[in-house]
Structure 1
Amino acid sequence: MKKILFILSILIMVYSCNTTSNKDGKDNPFFSEFDTPEGVPPFDKIKAEHFMPAFEEAMKRHNAEIDSIINNPEAPTFQNTVVALDESGRMLDRVGSVFSVMTGTMSDSVYQNIEKEITPLRTEHYDNINFNEKLFARIKTVYDDSLQVKTLTTEQKMLLDKTYKGFVRSGILLDGSKQARLREINKELSNASLSFNQNLLKETDSYQLVIDKKEDLSGLPEDVIAAAAKTAKDKGLEGKWVFGLSKPSWEPFLQYADNRALREKLYKAMYMRCDNGNEFDNKENIKKIVSLRLEKANMLGYKSHADYVLEETMAKTPENVMGLLNNIWKYALPQAQKEAAELQAIAKKEGHDIKIESWDW
């Protein structure tokens, strides 16, 4: 009887999700599978206004999938718990992946506002899953079942181990007050990280090196000059050339431009982004992120954020990372010094009385 009721509840949830999708998302590409070769997102049909409804629906479906796992009357198994959890949230993953592409390529205020709205909601959504004691109890049952674990393949054991440790590393074993504080930390961290990234994007987009003398373009390839002219025209500066801090603009200028003073100016603008004491300055965000990361790591039993993030990597510890870097440094530094000397000799041969700097390299 319990199994019949469970199946009926799942059918009701699926029907509810499907009817909601058809009613509210008939024109939203995310509400159904992408009907494209290899499932590539149909970017020509996706609009900014599609994302919030899609995120909300995806989180709703994900919650229903989690509920179906924890309310399963059958004993926890690798398949009905660990695999089911691993396969849940597919719509949310899909929407999130496409959204990341859009925010990585679209810098307008519309997408930035969506980021501000959805970031705390996504953080809370995943915290609710990571602190779900009923869900963790089922995972722990499978994890502690040595007879069941023996039957798993190497890959399945890895997934089980990763899933169990993921919950532990997210704070499921902390007491209630510490979990509440960890939720606050996660929310503050996500907001500070978002602010950091948006400041970086805004500073990158706002800077422009305007050139109005053709001789200052010496050394630059024609296609680079043409692109700079088009950028200037788009910004209402027709007849001039504009270079910015995006890589397609910044990198060729540093590589080819003969004007050393302008190379230095553009180079320093690139590496001083968000450290200029203006509205895009990130120093306070950095302080906040570092402080919160340390508090989180300490709360979870780690000495530092580096110890926390490296535990599940090949390096394992900060000491191993520093050992590798110092070993590389022994060989890299002499080679860099050799190349610097060669560049210095070239500059001297060409009659330039300069000391080679980063913007010459």
Structure 2
Amino acid sequence: MLEDGVFYAANKLYGLNFEKRTDLPVYHPTVTTYTVFDRDGSELGLFYFDPFQRDNKRGGAWMSNFVDQSKLLGTKPVIYNVLNIPKAADGEPQLVSFDNVGTLFHEFGHALHGFFADQRYASLSGTATARDFVEYPSQVNEMWATDPAILANYAKHHETGETIPAELIAKIEEAATFNQGYALGEVVEAALLDMKWHALTPAQARAIDTPEKVSAFEAKALSELGLEVALVPPRYRSPYFNHIFSNPAGYSSGYYSYLWTEMLDRDSREWFAENGGLTRENGDHYRATVLSRGGTQDYFDMYRTFAGREPDVTPMLKARGLIADDGGSDANAAADGALPPQTVGTN
């Protein structure tokens, strides 16, 4: 999955090559390391891959840097991806669920954002971007998990060697549109509730000092928004809305970012499909206009430079099955229509 899927896609799109290392220290025996070589053969950075569940390991999936890219400091990126795939018993084949395949492509999308960093200051380098932009490149990378050329190279039956049938992928993608009205509704509610909480003044917030007052504020806020909680409750209720109150990743007033980046992601998939899909020309363009820019540009300007137009919400609504697909070009949409819990640095 990693070498014949994720790395293979990165080679086709960006000309990257990967060399497995056995001479570098690792923090667990199941962690593997690779030198990442750029399209011109130069060393781009180091990649650490930590895929399996362990009893003492936090759940979820994430990417982060051991070393940030910085021209000022003369450092190249050292990046790790963490997943929690159940490890097969000794002697058994290591099988991976479709969801975990998508998660690996997602997290490696973050890694690419870090590897292609080309900034003077680490504070603007790679994934050091706004909360409502950082998930965008990683979500785009998920699309290649179901690209026919990539699937043919990695998605093979462990006994027969048969490539996964296109018909099965189509069924998975179609099934992903089930109940999306509810799924979208609960996330929109949570995002708007987040906004309501963070629009309070300090004095107003201090006055909501009991569980009863918290619940009352939530009910009032959702009512004012015209949302019917009995029909579709928000994904997270206020007493356990960890993302916006205690999560170190800092979602405060930014939970909407999942939907915003999904919109950019789906529109970008449309752009790739309209321009020939999996090609080096497209990969190099995306790298030059988005992945290498870090936090150095206005994000609207960055997107316009990439796509040549404003972003459009229509591909996202099509992918979720909320409006009819008129046979447009978003044929390789990833199957995971639900919002993933993982982020660049934590889950």
Q: TM-score, normalised by structure 2?
A: 0.29
* Higher share of residues assigned helix: 1
The structure showing larger relative contact order (alpha-carbon pairs under 8 Å, at least 6 residues apart) is 2
Report the structure number with the largest CA radius of gyration: 1
* Higher share of residues assigned strand: 2
Q: TM-score, normalised by structure 1?
A: 0.29
